[in-house]
Amino acid sequence: MSANSIDEAERLTWHREPASEPLDDNDEALRLVRQMIRSGERGPLVDLLKRWDPVDVMQMLVRLRLKQARKLFQWLPANPSIKVIAELRPEFRAVLMEESTLEQFRDILAGLDPEDATEMLNDFPDDMAEALAQRLPDVEDIASRQSYADDSAGRIMARKFVALPAALTIDEAVSQIRADADRIRKVFTVYVLDDSGRLVGTVELGKLLLAREGATLGDIMNRDFIAVSADTDQEEVLRLARKRDMRTVPVIDGDGHLIGRVTPKQLTRIASEEATEDMLLMSGVSSEAKADDTVLRIVRGRLPWLLAGLIGASIAASVVGSFEDQLAKAAILAAFIPVTMSMAGNAGLQASAVAVQGLATGTLWSGEIGYRLFKEFLAALFNGAVAGCILAGLTMLASLIIPIADPVHLALATSLSLLCVTTIAAMVGATIPIVLDKLGIDPAMATGVFITSSNDVLGVLVFFLMATAFYLG
């Protein structure tokens, strides 16, 4: 390495990039890092990166080409690799890993707590995750976690918690918590157990510190608590936590014994994962899709949804074709088909998005479903009436510029069809997610391709029926 290159490396810095876009100021740092990787200058580069913040190293890694990122990651020692891995998004962790980095990942995972190691293993392909797990010191604990189904409370729960007998006084409880402070890390809730070790109540840390002198945990504990089994789906855990405003959720076995807790960090991660999954499903993309997917995986994930949309569009085209005589009599009707289909699709998507969001957050109560649907009906009726009136006015205005046969009846037919289409589409969009949820199917699947296609068909059918009755009749 030349003297100039050494000087450049010594001055190499990374400016923390915002979430929105990379910074041009870091381009020179990237150029020099790439150059040092190509020339095999491992020692100087590793020494340099040890002085960087792990977040900065992570940001730099994801801007390198994959081959270079893997090579650099192999060069990094366990520290700071563990900190860098902790900052990486899950999909980037899996991409960085290849056969040659397995040994390094074993060293990294061995330095983590079992729950953190299990969470990271979930991001690896099954065969590699199994190979890694078998070589870790906490193999039994990790194997126990992996025995639970994916996306279950048992898979994500932390096994470090504060659980104390109900007979303990406040002073005794505080002393016990202080004694275990290094092992416990963060404490939000104290779990209270009976003589048999079963969970009987919870005490928030603030309430514990403000309790009267001489009181016991049993005196101040909250008996109206929510606990979940290890097999509970993580989405249900998140829904319960939001509904009851819980920071942590206890996990119990079949006998009521406390076996773990879902932490605030895990609840935040679940919320992010579920939001991402719903967004992909609503966009007509497989929930397993990732940015680094191969062409084959992209095709497999998207083609079924596109074909479903093609079937819906074909049915809509068939409906249009069945009204060939009406189109022959009045070709002007063809101009209104895109308007009708667009309004139907948009109204359906809006209603379904609200329904899916309500179901996901638990704010859509079973007792309110009828009332919610009635409100959707009234809102859709109003929106359809306003859109219909505007379309009727535009039709009459157009008749002053271009010749249109019987513009009054055409305006009446198109406005009424828009009113009916908007109302029907909104009701379909609001109802289908609720029905799917009752059937145990992810309601997000109702949006996107399926609702848009079904509403296109209904919209075209309603439009031609109205046109036949009020314009061509």
125 pLDDT higher than 60: no
Q: 131 and 42, same structural domain?
A: yes
1 pLDDT higher than 50: no
Identify the pLDDT of residue 149.
74
Whether 177 maps to a domain, the answer reads yes
HEC sequence for 371-389: HHHHHHHHHHHHHHHHHHH
CA 425 remoteness from chain centre: 26
Which one, of 418, 433, 336, 425, lies nearest residue 384 by Cα? Answer: 418
Whether 452 maps to a domain, the answer reads yes
Specify whether the CB–CB gap between 397 and 414 falls below 8 A. Answer: no
Q: 68 and 13, same structural domain?
A: yes
Domain ends where: 86, 120, 151?
151
41 pLDDT higher than 80: yes
CATH of residue 443? 1.10.357.20
Q: 200 and 142, same structural domain?
A: no
Q: 116 and 166, same structural domain?
A: no
Domain ends where: 125, 151, 177?
151
Which domain, by its residues, includes 354?
Answer: 295-470
Mean pLDDT of 81-91: 56
Percentage of the chain lying above the pLDDT 90 cut:
4
Q: 313 and 168, same structural domain?
A: no
CATH of residue 249? 3.10.580.10
Distance CA 445, CA 187 (A): 38
Distance CA 470, CA 473 (A): 6
Specify whether the CB–CB gap between 301 and 289 falls below 8 A. Answer: yes
83 pLDDT higher than 60: no
Least confident of 22-26, 254-258, 317-321: 22-26
Mean pLDDT of 63-91: 66
Q: 412 and 327, same structural domain?
A: yes
Whether 156 maps to a domain, the answer reads no
Identify the pLDDT of residue 3.
45
**Cα atoms in the 13 Å half-sphere on the side-chain side of 141:** 19
Q: pLDDT by residue (tens digit) across 291-332?
A: 555 677 667 767 777 777 778 778 888 888 888 787 777 788
CATH of residue 134? 1.25.60.10
Identify the pLDDT of residue 385.
92
Residue 382's pLDDT band, with cuts at 50, 70 and 90, is: very high
Whether 226 maps to a domain, the answer reads yes
Q: How many domains does the chain have?
A: 3
Mean pLDDT of 418-439: 85
Q: 323 and 206, same structural domain?
A: no
Q: 170 and 146, same structural domain?
A: no
Residue 47's pLDDT band, with cuts at 50, 70 and 90, is: confident
Distance CA 308, CA 472 (A): 33
Identify the pLDDT of residue 321.
81
Q: pLDDT by residue (tens digit) across 143-161?
A: 566 667 777 888 778 777 8
Q: 106 and 142, same structural domain?
A: yes
Work out the mean pLDDT of the chain and round it to a whole number: 77
First to last CA, the chain: 87
Compare 254 and 129 and report the one with higher pLDDT: 254
Identify the pLDDT of residue 390.
93
Q: 194 and 103, same structural domain?
A: no
Specify whether the CB–CB gap between 142 and 114 falls below 8 A. Answer: yes
Q: 248 and 175, same structural domain?
A: yes
Domain ends where: 151, 177, 199?
151
Q: 140 and 34, same structural domain?
A: yes
Whether 286 maps to a domain, the answer reads no
57 pLDDT higher than 50: yes
Whether 270 maps to a domain, the answer reads no
Whether 53 maps to a domain, the answer reads yes
